[in-house]
A and B are shown apart, each in its own frame.
Chain A
């Protein structure tokens, strides 16, 4: 399968600071990238969808000003958690898809475990 990397794998930050997470597709061009969040024992929750060169589409209940997404190239998307709070502590996972159709398979990055103290 295709390879998606994510960096950092783990981050601990203080409340009120911002954290940037990078997601890269290493061996294919990702027309569409997705950002998910997963709390313990819960399902993956889609936060936003981003297509290269356009603004991200956020799911209901996700604050776009708090979770800044940039998809500047076909291989890179970033998620910035601004003014992080302890309730933002979670497992953030990106995924990438080679086409715009949902028939294309999605491949996930290894995830970033964020802990806000």
Chain B
């Protein structure tokens, strides 16, 4: 099992839709979890940290499920500008391990 796995997508959704991504991790000792957004040929940008109690930032909600070892990202009311690749990052050790990312395409 890979350390961090994501469905590569693409997820094609219309504007205004709600979409959710999951990311599974293999090391149960992982302590820190993050979601990053990466636009084509650009660097990843931190979207949000994922806390044990779950957290929300505007239209974005992140959840952590330690028992099943996955984190999720929910995007409500999708905008065209949300089109990007979403990377999850997990720290099994002192460094972050990134998933390959899930591509989201929001269409008019």
Contact = CB atoms under 8 A, between A and B. Distances in A.
A105 B94 contact: no
Contacts, number: 51
Contacts of A108: 43-46
Interface residues on A, range: 20 to 34
A44 B95 contact: no
28 contacts: A1-B45, A1-B46, A34-B95, A34-B96, A42-B100, A43-B98, A43-B101, A44-B98, A46-B95, A46-B96, A46-B97, A49-B94, A49-B95, A93-B43, A100-B94, A102-B32, A102-B93, A102-B94, A102-B96, A103-B31, A103-B91, A106-B34, A106-B46, A106-B89, A107-B46, A110-B43, A111-B43, A113-B41
Interface string B12-43: 00000000000000000001101000000111
Interface of B: 31-32, 34, 41-46, 49, 87, 89, 91, 93-101
A80 B76 CA distance: 43
B42 to A, nearest CB: 7
A110 B41 CA distance: 9
B49 to A, nearest CB: 6
Main DSSP-derived SS at the A contact region: loop
Given A46-B97, A110-B43, 18 more contacts: A1-B45, A34-B95, A43-B87, A43-B101, A44-B44, A44-B98, A49-B95, A102-B32, A102-B91, A102-B94, A103-B31, A105-B34, A106-B89, A106-B96, A107-B46, A108-B46, A111-B42, A111-B43
